[in-house]
Amino acid sequence: MKAPHSIVDGVIGVITMNHGKVNALSKVLLDDIVLSLESLHSPPVRVVILRAAQGAKVFSAGHDVRELPTNGRDPLTYNDPLRQVMRKIEHCPHPVIAMIEGSVWGGACELVLGCDVIVAAEDSTFAITPAKLGVPYDIHGTLNLIKVGGIHLLKEMLFTAEPVSVIRLADCGLINHVVPRAKLEDFTMNLARQMAQTSPLVLSVLKEEMRVLANAHPLNPETYERLQALRREVYDSHDYQEGIRAFLEKRAPTFLGN
Ligand code: LCV
């Protein structure tokens, strides 16, 4: 498996992403995360930790760019494997803690920011990259970014696509804790143990309550169709093809704005 899981102390489920050098979010890796989350859904598990292998330099390089379609199809739809993982995390009855070591890129930022609590090693960074790749971020993903707050910081991250230190992200409230690498595992486990001692019924109800309340943004069909049309302008563009081609050819893209 690319995302095997284990159970620590009888109640803490740990999913470890271990897929190649950079944990690119391929369908294979994301499907494995779904399977692990399903296995950890029921008692005795009370908390889940999502992590990369110990000592990782890259937590995840984001979407597997090689799997993005270049045939005019929407690259990030409802059934995209990342969307399926995000729904699993949202509907998981337990708190899901992201434990971050290394750099987090593109779609992996959404994966992490969509977890319930985030603990990061102090030298970790986050870069949200659609503008560098010419990719139309998906609607739900954009809403999820807005929901975590820090809108000015998020806009800067989206508009520059540059890595930002977790220390700055924590200062802005996007990350819960930043700790030295050597203490990351102990710190995260202790946090998980504290959560595991509380009422699992109350935690699951609170989590679902907050999910429903945070999603109370009705969109009328016309607005939704307009957003889809805006995104389509991007995935039908020269810049989308150029962004992916440049990534695969390991060169800087030449964007034309159309
Ligand atoms: C496929 C990869 C990837 C990768 N996919 O090692 O959110 S959106 O809209 O942006 C969305 C579409 C998305 O998430 O896009 C992906 C965003 N990710 C990035 O922009 C990060 C791209 N990767 C990098 O900048 C570097 O690879 C990092 C800094 C992560 C690691 O650098 P390092 O020097 O340690 P390499 O670059 O040599 O990468 C190792 C292998 O992994 C492939 C990369 O092409 C290389 O393949 P080869 O060994 O075949 O040369 N790789 C890296 N990221 N996202 N493949």
**Ligand 1 atom nearest to 65, measured from its CA:** 5
- Could you tell me the distance, in angstroms and rounded to a whole number, from the CA of residue 61 to the centre of ligand 1? 5
Comparing 125-134, 160-169, 209-218, the range with the smallest average pLDDT is: 209-218
Distance CA 213, CA 202 (A): 16
Asked whether the predicted pLDDT for residue 62 surpasses 90, the reply is yes
Distance CA 219, CA 146 (A): 15
Catalytic residue positions? Answer: 63, 107, 137
CATH architecture of 5-182: Alpha-Beta Complex (3.90)
Q: What is the pLDDT of residues 212-249, one digit of tens each?
A: 999 888 889 999 999 999 999 999 999 999 999 999 99
Pocket of ligand 1 (CB under 6 A): 21-22, 24, 58, 61-66, 103, 105-107, 129-130, 133, 135, 137
- Could you tell me the distance, in angstroms and rounded to a whole number, from the CA of residue 4 to the centre of ligand 1? 22
pLDDT value of residue 27: 98
Rounded to the nearest angstrom, the gap between the alpha carbon of residue 94 and the centroid of all alpha carbons in its chain is 17
pLDDT value of residue 132: 96
The residue nearest atom 54 of ligand 1, judged by CA position, is: 61
pLDDT value of residue 117: 98
pLDDT value of residue 217: 80
Asked whether the predicted pLDDT for residue 179 surpasses 90, the reply is yes
pLDDT value of residue 218: 84
Q: What is the DSSP letter of 257?
A: -
Substitution candidate for ligand 1 out of 57, 105, 110 with most atoms within 8 A of CB? 105
> Contact, 45 vs 70, CB < 8 A?
no
pTM of the model: 0.97
Q: What is the pLDDT of residues 22-57, one digit of tens each?
A: 999 999 999 999 999 999 999 999 999 999 999 999
- Could you tell me the distance, in angstroms and rounded to a whole number, from the CA of residue 59 to the centre of ligand 1? 11
β-strands 164-165, 125-127 pairing: antiparallel
Q: For residue 213, how many other CB atoms are within 10 A of its CB?
A: 8
Q: What is the pLDDT of residues 69-97, one digit of tens each?
A: 999 999 999 999 999 999 999 999 999 99
Asked whether the predicted pLDDT for residue 201 surpasses 90, the reply is yes
Domain boundaries, the chain: 5-182
* Average pLDDT in the chain: 96
- Could you tell me the distance, in angstroms and rounded to a whole number, from the CA of residue 241 to the centre of ligand 1? 17
